[in-house]
Every structure is written in structure tokens, then in C-alpha cells.
Structure 1
Amino acid sequence: MSVRLARSLALATIAAAAAMSVGAASVGVSWAQGAPPAPTVQIATPLAKRVTNWDEFTGRFEARDQVEIRARVSGFLDSIHFKDGELVKKGDLLFTIDQRPYQLAVDAARAEVARTAAQVDLAKNEVERAEGLTQNRTITARDIDQRRANLNGALAQQQAAEANLKTAELNLEWTQVRAPLAGRISNKRVDAGNLIAGGQSGATLLTTIVSVDPINFTFDASEADYLRYSRLASALRQNANREQGSPAQVRLSDEKEWKRSGNIDFVDNALNARSGTIRGRAVFENKDQFLTPGTFGRLRLFAGETDALLVPDAVIVSDQASKIVLTVGADNKVVPKPVTLGQISDGLRVITQGLTKDDKVIVNGLASPMVRPGATVAPQPTEIKVAATN
């Protein structure tokens, strides 16, 4: 190998080594420049606000009035005057029982009244005639007493006949079965042409009627709830001179908003010894007849007002069995805080325990996988506001 060739190889080796050093340096610079920045999050202190507290109970709707329709007299069912499930008014004609035998009984009772009236007239005439004969001593005092007794007997028979006539007319009136209250009627239980039994016991059930407006909602509350609400209701009556019951709201299983308002109008007089609960009842308007007896619902009762901290419901995350709110500490690191949840108020979640008014809650940016306990974040301040309502 010549000296010139050896020198060329040496220079090439030095150049390659220099190039490798430069490349390694550039890679190191690119790694430093490509490090991920701290994720940006929005933080806000909890909204301090005075909220109205409500407690929720499960119950069902019940008709305020309900009645079983049974006939007072027996006979063949002649006709039916309603459609199954329709609304009826008080006094509407529902069923007609064959009236012919009862009409005959009325006619016979009237005839008996006429007969006894004639007997009374005859007895009166005999008494008057006898009283005129006493002046001439033509008739004895005993005969006069006998004729007066006959008059009294005739009057008693007339009164009995008139009472029988009223009974016969009442039985004839009862052949028309009318609605005793306004409400929604069920289906007919007996078809026309059947022989039905009437009377005080064993009478045939014809149908049922339930009132629709207003409607009751019954529920069970614990002893602790009963004591707390009793004291609250007493304070409300003293402070506001309230005569109506405690305010209540109800919603159905497919409803999310509490649009139906009413009042508690009854609490039972004793707690159930087995369950330790007491039965309560609220009353609600039902002008559109949409609420149906037997339907389940959720009732909430006014439980006073308190100062509370509120955060958006979306910022609450689950950690196994507990609920957590992520906050940012002084060193911009994510700090988890277990919290106890309250009700929803104005679109925000009430936090009953776990937060202070100075905590910086992460309200936006939680979707990033880099926002986790212990991670460093770049916080940006914002504000929690009450959800707008239409």
C-alpha cells in the first residue's frame, strides 16, 4: 500500500467518525425537542350557592275515591249505558234492571194506599156521626170510643201503605244504577240479559269507578325521615303561618324533570312495627287524566335550604366504589379527592363532603389520558356557572 492510499483511508475514517458524532448529537437534540408538553386543563373553584334540599321516595299513585258498583235490587240486567273505560259524571245512568216487576209493585202499593185512605174517610164519618148522637144519648160512650179506635187503626194502615209505596218506588228507582261519583269507569263485569243479585250482601259486582282528578300518591318513609320532616313542617307553619301540607314533587319512571307539584295531605297515625316505616300521602292535580292509579313514581319532599358547593356532574369520576373529583395542587400536579355526592341543583352536582371552596377542580380536559393522579398539568382558570334554563 502506498503512503498516499494510507493517508486517504485515514482521512475517510476520521470523516466517518465525525459524521457519526454529528448524527448522534442531532438525534439527541430531536429527542429533547420531541418531549410531550404538560396537558392543558381548565380549573375552577366549586360554585358556592344556597340550594334547596329534597329527599326522594318511591311510591305509587292511588285514586282519591273509588267505588264498586253493585245493584241494590235483583233482576235481569236489561241494558248497559256506558262504554268500557270512559269518563262518567256523577249521576250518569250506567245499568238498567228489568223494571216491570218493580213497576207492578208500585202500582199495587198505590192501590193499597187508596184503599186505606177510603177506610180512613169512612172511619172519620162514623166518628163525626157518633159525636152528634151523644147529645141525645142515642149512642153510648163505649160505641164512640170503639169508632175512634177504628179511625186510629185506619190511619195506621194508611201510614203503613204509604211506607210500602215509598219502598216500592225506591226499589223501582234502584233498577236504574247510576254513577255515585265522577271518574273513569272500568269494563262491565256482567253482560245484558244476565240475572244479577242485589241487596246488602252477595250483590253482583257490575263494574268499578275511580276518581281521576285530583289523584293521591302514597309512599313509605323511615322513622328518621318522619321525625325530621315533622320538625321541619312545624317550623314552616310557625314561620310562614302555613296551613297546607309540605310541598312535594313527583315524576314518572320515564320522566327526568320534576314538573308535577303537590302537597302532603296525610301522614298515618302510627309507624309500622315490623318495617319501622310510616305511610304518607301527597295529592296532585290530574286535569289531563294522564296519571293512572297503580303507576309507580318518584316523590321528592322539601327538606330545607343549606349552603353547598356545586360542580358539573361530568367532572366526577369513579374509582371502584368511591366517587372522585380531580383537583390541581400548588405544584400543578393532579390531586384526587374522594367526595360524597348530593342532589342535582340547577344542572350541577351538590358535593356534601370532600371539597372546600378553595379547591381547584379540573372542569375541562379530563378526556386526555395524560390527566391522571400525580401528573403535571398546565392549568387555565375558568368559572363554574349555573346551567341555563329555558
Structure 2
Amino acid sequence: MKKLLSFVGLLALGSAAWWLFQTHLSAPHAAAADVSQKNAVPILAASVERQDTPAVISAIGTAQAYNSVTVRTRVDGQLDKVAFVEGQEVHRGDLLAQLDSRPFEAQLRSALAQKDRDAAQLANVERDLARFSDLAHRGAIPAQTLDTTRAQVDQLKATVEMDQAQIENARIALGYTTIRAPLDGRTGARLVDAGNMVHATDSNGLVLITQVHPITVSFSLPQDELPALLASQRKAALQVTALSRDASQQLGQGVISLIDNQIDSTTGTIHCKATFDNATNLLWPGQFVVLHVVLDMHRDALTVPATAVQLGTDGTYVFIVTSKGTADLRHVEVAFTEANRSVIARGVSQGERVVTEGQYHLEPGTPVRIIDRPPSLK
């Protein structure tokens, strides 16, 4: 029994000694780990991803009406009626205004009566010509009388034809008293009120109509972009996105419809136009917009948040979070940046984590700690 108790005591003494030994060895390592974690720089990080990314050129443009017409009267007269509402959508042929037509109706009746009179004279002279022709054949009248009568017939025929032209001109003038929309579009402010006299020589006109379906946006690009622009246009129609001035709202999708045939030598830019169907009426003539012209689509490209890319004396670089929880500086080649993401041509691999905030407190080998909120670094 005494031997058994002695054995148990020795076993307990050995366990206690072993615990003291392990505690003595692990304490410095734990302390070091605590110090390392305490000194780690808080950062935000994101993964390197593969995604389809468009290569885009940005520009500032001005929306313009696809067509615009200042509606003017083509005859002088009193404006009897204005048939449109300001700001109204109108279609080609819709009634816009009506002038007093009575003077023009009277001119038409006068032209018709003039033709009837001259036609009656022509008929009478033609009968004389028939009689004189028979008499001249028998030698009963001089040949000169027959020639004179034949000349009168020709003259009256020309007069009747001139009367017909006068009738057609009067009908056209009468038609001009009814003013119709020359195209589909939207009316602007009314420039003349009913009751006023209007003239064909008036400079202001009656109303301005602008066609906004479709609508164009005029813009300029640096001449250095022209080769890429033309190369992409040969492949397919160049897609354009119109955004609000602060780029917070998309206003429409369209295509480039014009690349001008010469470069502006004073500015070194090339003038372009894009056409939008504008079904939602978000584009308006005179509006300033931001344009994104898609030159090409990079399929399955390696991308990182644009904030991860830094510029140093040796070029662009990013900080990679290593498996050991430290930062590693990696030089990269950036193809382009679009929509807050940078396409990396060389330097990173898919799945690696890059530092997006907190880089200014890092150097190669610095311990880092990834957090879920922006670090308040000082």
C-alpha cells in the first residue's frame, strides 16, 4: 500500500513539473503573438476577380434635337386661330394655325373667272379659224387673214395656260393659310398670338418644333483616341451610354452616328455625334451629359478595386495580403480603369487579396488585420 501511494505521488509531481515546463516555454511565444496582433495595421481588403470589363472613353456632350423647324407663314394675312398647345407633342400634318383665308379664296375665284373668259374667246377664234380655212381654200379671203386668225388662236391658248397657272398659284396660296406640322416633334413657346398680322418675311415665325425621338448628343474626343475609335467602329457600331452630369443616373443607350471627317486643329479634337431613341424623354435639347463610349469588351479580365492601385516612383503597385497576415508590395501593370475597377494586365492572380484602404501605413512585411469598416488611421 505504501508503494502504491509513493507511485501516485511521483506521478503527480511529474505532471506538475511538465505543466510548469510547458508554461515557461509557451509564454514568450504567446506574448509575441499578442504584441504582433496588437501592432497589426487595420486595413480593408478585396479579392482579385475575373469579370468582363468594357474599355470606355468618357466625354462631355450636349444634347441636340435630331431635327428642328421654325414654323413660319408663307403668305401674309391675319392669324385667325392657333391650334396647338405650348409644349405639345405633334405629328407631321397636324393643324398648327389658321390664317384668314377669305382674300385668297377671292383670288382663286378671280383666277377661275379669268380662265373662263379667255377660254370663251379662244373657242370663238377657233370657230373663225375653221371658217377662214374653208374660205381661204376657195380663194375667197386673203391668206394673211387666215394667218392672223391662226396666230390669235395660239395666243389665246397660251393665255388660257397662263390662267391655269394663276389658278394653281392661287390654290397653293390658299393652302398656305392652313399651317400644319412639318415633322413629328414637340412644340415650344407660342411666338405669335391669334389676331396678329403675320408676314412671310417675319424672322421669329410662329413656333419652334424640335424632334426629340430620336435625339442626338454632340461631343468631342481627343485626336489621340481616333485610331482606336475607328478600329472599334469597323468591328461593330460603337455603343454609347449617356449619364447625368454627376453620373448618378443613366439617361439612355445609343450608338455613334458621326465621326467627323476632319480634326479641329485649334483644339486637337475630333467632333462626334451619338444618336439615342430617347423613349423615356430623359434627354432634352441643350442638356449637358456625361458620355461613356465603349471601345471594346475585355472578357474574363483580372480586376481589382481602383483604390487598391497606388502610384510610386517605380510605377503602379498594390499591397497583397499574404497567408502569414502580412503585406507584400507587388508591382502591377494596369490596362485601364473603368467604373471604379482597374483591369490588371500583369502582376496579380485570381483569388489574391489586395489592400484597398490603409496602404499609407504599410511596407513589405508589415502585419495587417482585415476589418469590416473603414480604418480610422492617424
The TM-score bracket by the shorter chain reads 0.7 to 0.9
* SS class of match (2:212): coil
Equivalent position to 1:376, from 336, 352, 367: 367
Q: What's the CA shift string for 1:230-259, capped at 9, x where partnerless? A: 12323x1xxxxx5xx322222223654657
Q: What's the CA shift string for 1:134-170, capped at 9, x where partnerless? A: 2332222111111110011111111111111111111
Query: Structure 1 CA distance, aligned partners of 2:281 and 2:323?
Result: 58
Match of 2:210 in 1: 210
Q: Quick one: percent identity of the two aligned structures?
A: 25
Moved more, 169-178 or 306-315: 306-315
* Cα distance change on mapping 1:212 and 1:120 into 2, 3 Å: same
* Cα distance change on mapping 1:223 and 1:197 into 2, 3 Å: same
Query: Structure 1 CA distance, aligned partners of 2:324 and 2:75?
Result: 89
Which runs of structure 2 are paired with 1:1-390 in the superposition (5 Å)? 35=35, 37-38=37-38, 39=40, 46-199=48-201, 202-234=202-234, 236=235, 245-253=237-245, 256=248, 260-306=252-298, 308-312=301-305, 325-328=318-321, 332-335=325-328, 342-344=336-338, 349-352=341-344, 355-357=347-349, 360-362=352-354, 372-373=362-363, 375-377=366-368
Alignment check: 8 A CA contact 1:337 1:354 kept: no
Query: Structure 1 CA distance, aligned partners of 2:174 and 2:360?
Result: 87
Structure with the largest fraction of strand: 2
Query: Structure 2 CA distance, aligned partners of 1:205 and 1:84?
Result: 14
Query: Structure 2 CA distance, aligned partners of 1:304 and 1:192?
Result: 55
Query: Structure 2 CA distance, aligned partners of 1:165 and 1:261?
Result: 52
Question: C-alpha displacement at 1:90, in angstroms?
Answer: 0.4
* SS class of match (1:270): strand
RMSD: 3.5
Alignment check: 8 A CA contact 2:304 2:344 kept: no
TM-score (structure 1 length as normaliser): 0.74
Query: Structure 1 CA distance, aligned partners of 2:288 and 2:45?
Result: 41
* Cα distance change on mapping 1:252 and 1:338 into 2, 3 Å: farther
TM-score (structure 2 length as normaliser): 0.77
Query: Structure 2 CA distance, aligned partners of 1:123 and 1:370?
Result: 109
* SS class of match (1:96): strand
Q: Which runs of 5 or more structure 2 residues have no equivalent in the other structure?
A: 1-26, 372-378
* SS class of match (1:107): helix
* Cα distance change on mapping 1:231 and 1:36 into 2, 3 Å: closer
Alignment check: 8 A CA contact 1:317 1:325 kept: yes
Alignment check: 8 A CA contact 2:244 2:251 kept: no
Alignment check: 8 A CA contact 1:45 1:357 kept: no
Alignment check: 8 A CA contact 1:48 1:357 kept: no
Question: C-alpha displacement at 1:354, in angstroms?
Answer: 8.3
Moved more, 96-105 or 32-41: 32-41
Alignment check: 8 A CA contact 2:318 2:355 kept: no
